[in-house]
């Protein structure tokens, strides 16, 4: 299974989503723009997507809620270590109230992994940020002084709202 992402104006991406209504797609936006996600076993309909393999999948991607993308750049030689950590993660994120879906995404043409979480609403995500489970997951995405540096740069987070379908 793969996930593809593309950016653009909300109206343009909405037309693509409507044209391919039988596909699993999430259209989301924030103050900076809009993103369309396509989850599929087949080839994507996007002409120039950011492409990812799904390493871990929990729940279903629904067309409502609050979506968080944690972007984590990892050195090429250390990708297996990073992937092992998330494939074998025993944190309690999947038991968090309001979590609808989780995807750990391996980049196909870059070094930046994405941890995608879909929440019922922003408040439930913010509540989770204050839990030991979040701190445990965060430690897995950061290097300590006792560990070798496996990251090529600082991680960053993008947050989006999925507008209600009219």
Dump the DSSP string for 77-133.
Answer: GGHHHHHHHHHT---SGGGSTTEEEEEEEEESSSSEEEEEEEES-HHHHHHHHTSHH
Residue 14 CA to residue 9 CA, distance in Å, equals: 9
Domain range 2-162, its CATH number among 3.50.50.60, 3.40.190.80, 3.40.50.300, 3.30.70.100: 3.30.70.100
Question: 84-137, pLDDT tens digit by residue?
Answer: 877 776 565 667 889 999 999 999 998 899 999 999 999 999 998 888 777 666
Q: What is the pLDDT of residue 83?
A: 85
pTM of the model: 0.84
Average pLDDT of the residues of the chain: 85
User: For 116, how many CA atoms within 13 A lie in the half-sphere containing its CB?
Assistant: 32
Q: What is the pLDDT of residue 147?
A: 46
């Amino acid at each position: 299974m793969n996930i593809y992402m593309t950016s653009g104006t909300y109206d343009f991406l909405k037309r693509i989503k409507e044209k391919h209504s039988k596909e699993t797609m999430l259209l989301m936006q924030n103050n900076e723009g809009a993103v369309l996600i396509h989850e599929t076993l087949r080839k994507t309909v996007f002409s120039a997507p950011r492409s990812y393999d799904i390493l871990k999948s929990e729940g279903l991607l629904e067309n409502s809620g609050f979506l968080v993308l944690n972007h984590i750049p990892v050195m090429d030689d250390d990708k297996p270590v990073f992937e092992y950590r998330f494939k074998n993660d025993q944190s309690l994120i999947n038991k968090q109230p309001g979590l609808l879906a989780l995807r750990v995404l391996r980049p196909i043409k870059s070094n930046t992994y994405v941890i995608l979480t879909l929440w019922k609403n922003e408040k439930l995500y913010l509540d989770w940020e204050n839990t030991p489970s979040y701190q445990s997951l965060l430690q897995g995405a950061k290097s300590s002084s006792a560990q070798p540096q496996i990251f090529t740069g600082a991680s960053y987070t993008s947050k989006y709202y999925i507008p209600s379908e009219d």
